[in-house]
A and B are shown apart, each in its own frame.
Chain A
Amino acid sequence: IGIFGNVQQKRLQVVYDIAGGQIGFAPAAC
């Protein structure tokens, strides 16, 4: 299985909206 790891997630806002069935990203969040 492929794994999107934490280096690639750096500085992105990663949003887990489980009830909404979606994962979101926004740039330069920290």
Chain B
Amino acid sequence: EEREHAHTVEVNSLLPATTCSSSSSSTKGHMSEHASSSVLKVIHKHGPCSRLNKHKSKTPTHAQILQQDQTRVNSIHSRVNSKKQTKSVDDLRQSAATTIPAQSGSVVGSGNYIVNVGLGSPKKQLSLIFDTGSDLTWTQCRPCIISCYKQKEPIFDPSFSASYTNVSCTSATCSQLTSATGNTPGCDTSTCIYDIQYGDQSFSIGYFGKEKLSLTNTDVFDGFLFGCGQNNQGLFGGSAGLLGLGRNPISLVEQLAQKYNRFFSYCLPSTSSSIGYLSFGKSDGSSNAVKFTTLSTVSQGDSFYGINVVGINVGETKLPISASVFSSSGTIIDSGTVITRLPPTAYSALKAAFRQAMKSYPLTEAVSILDTCYDFSSFKTVSYPKISFVFDNGLTQDLDATGILYVVSADQVCLAFAGNEDDSY
């Protein structure tokens, strides 16, 4: 009974290996199964599989990762809330004097999963953070007229690509940038200029261009709309930019809808030393183990993917949280936010149930936004309760054993959830 509702693991297995375990068999199996669709490897930006983190010093501390995560969450909240007050673009045009709120889009720094794609002809490989919480795909571009941050791969130079073209200011795709970035596009020598600001003062500004995108050797797309960044600053951790997978027409998912019919899936690797995948298109053998729930829209944030949480189970206990707590705040699923945020009522119920189940382990000090941390250093194995989410239309999804704890070290292992400030947030 106990085993049924708890995970028992070796404390050592909680700690990420220092070497990259090349794609695990299941991923390989998955990769081959997806012959008909295109599959990219997903790696953790700060792990030993990433070519970006050769400079150990570059890896942020856990406190920094968690702090960046909070900044991202604040910016998502402000995007969702600001949508309530946002005037239509026409209003803004009419009241030219109105200060257009700098769209605090999503914060990239904390997003820590990257994929490698090819751009241009001949194609240049670039590591981009993939982000279901934002729409515009961009990368840094030579000649970096204003500024480029340090990135691992050579910075893309459109002047050496036979297939690069600028988007003109008068084209309809140029005006689409307003909804994708929250900022009205600029114009420079008749070339459309994009401007995307992120919540942590990161930003990318540059030419809006069209280029050949190679997702894999065989999946190549001409005329892919992306941002060629001439002024880029921020916490992008050595990656070359961002792959936007949100719901706006400018998102990669929408631009490649013809081929992939707005269908994509991913698996995020369990440790920073293992490999996952991001695949586009419905694969013929798509595992029928997949259980579905409703994809809903977030009224104030139409770029986000909404899901309806109705309850949470800890061990064999259904938490005493009324479904209205979840429905009044709504929930989005975001590959770029690290720690799940819950309405405070829900978080305090989860925290109480988890602490009750873990009362035989010593609590230790909190780290950043995580307030339920344990010292496992004197244990060889530990047991902790399973956690599952109940979504609408009756789907109950168990989290993986690795999806419950955030491991700073063996003596600081934390419950990987945090509460929002206010249920109505």
Interface residues of A (CB under 8 A from B): 1-30
Q: List 29 A-B contacts (CB under 8 A).
A: A1-B76, A1-B298, A4-B307, A4-B331, A4-B333, A5-B337, A5-B338, A5-B340, A6-B337, A7-B339, A7-B403, A8-B404, A8-B416, A9-B335, A10-B268, A11-B267, A11-B270, A12-B267, A12-B397, A14-B265, A17-B262, A19-B263, A22-B295, A24-B292, A25-B291, A26-B289, A27-B289, A27-B400, A29-B30
**Interface status of B294 (Cβ within 8 A of chain A):** yes
Q: Residues of A contacting B342 with CB < 8 Å?
A: 2
One digit per residue, 1 when the CB lies within 8 angstroms of any chain A CB and 0 when it does not, for chain B 42-67 equals: 00000000000000000000000000
- Inter-subunit contact A11/B403 (CB<8 Å): yes
Q: Which of B27, B69, B295, B340 contacts A17 (CB 8 A)?
A: B295
- How distant is the Cα of A4 from the Cα of B298 in the complex, in angstroms? 14
Residues of A within 8 A of B245 (CB): 16
We find that the number of chain B residues with CB closer than 8 angstroms to chain A is: 75
List residues of chain B with CB within 8 A of the CB of A15: 263-265, 286, 290, 292
Q: Which residues of A contact B420 (CB under 8 A)?
A: 1-2
Residue pair A10, B402 in contact (C-beta under 8 Å)? yes
Given known A15-B265, A29-B30, contact A2–B330 (CB-CB < 8 A) = yes
Q: Is the CB of A17 within 8 A of B332?
A: no
Quote the shortest CB–CB distance from B415 to chain A (angstroms). 10
Say whether B406 faces chain A, with CB atoms less than 8 Å apart.
yes
- B residues 363-399 with Cβ under 8 Å of A? 389, 395, 397-399
Q: Which of B236-261 contact A (CB under 8 A)?
A: 245, 247, 253, 261
> Which of the segments B94-102, B154-162, B172-180, B273-281 contacts the partner chain?
B273-281
Instruction: Please tell me if B77 contacts chain A, counting CB pairs below 8 Å.
Output: yes
Name B253's closest neighbour in chain A (CB-CB): A18
Q: What residues of chain B lie closer than 8 Å to A19, measured between beta carbons?
A: 261-263
Which B residue's beta carbon lies closest to that of A7? B416
> Which 8 residue pairs across A and B have the least CB separation, nearest first?
A30-B267, A2-B331, A18-B262, A11-B400, A24-B290, A22-B292, A29-B267, A26-B289
Closest to A15 in B: B265
Known interface pairs A2-B326, A5-B339, A22-B292; A14-B334 also in contact (CB < 8 Å):
no
CA distance A17 to B320 in the complex (A): 31
Bound CA–CA A7/B294 (angstroms): 21
| CA A5 to CA B298, docked complex, whole Å | 16
User: Are B295 and A23 in contact, with the CB atoms below 8 A?
Assistant: yes
Known: A4-B340, A10-B269, A15-B290. A30 touches B403 (CB 8 A): no
CA separation between A25 and B339, bound complex, in Å?
Answer: 18
A9 to nearest B CB, angstroms?
5
Q: Are B263 and A1 in contact (CB under 8 A)?
A: no
Knowing A2-B326, A6-B337, the reply to whether A30 touches B27 (Cβ < 8 A) is: yes
Other-chain residue from A10, A13, A23, A28 in contact with B307 (beta carbon distance below 8 A): A23
* Contacting pair B265 A13 (CB below 8 A): yes
Q: In the complex, what residues of A have CB within 8 A of residue B346's CB?
A: 2
- Is B13 an interface residue, CB under 8 A from the partner? no
Contacts of B274 in A (CB 8 A): 30
Query: Is the Cβ of B270 less than 8 Å from the Cβ of A10?
Result: yes
A10→B338 CA distance, assembly (Å): 10
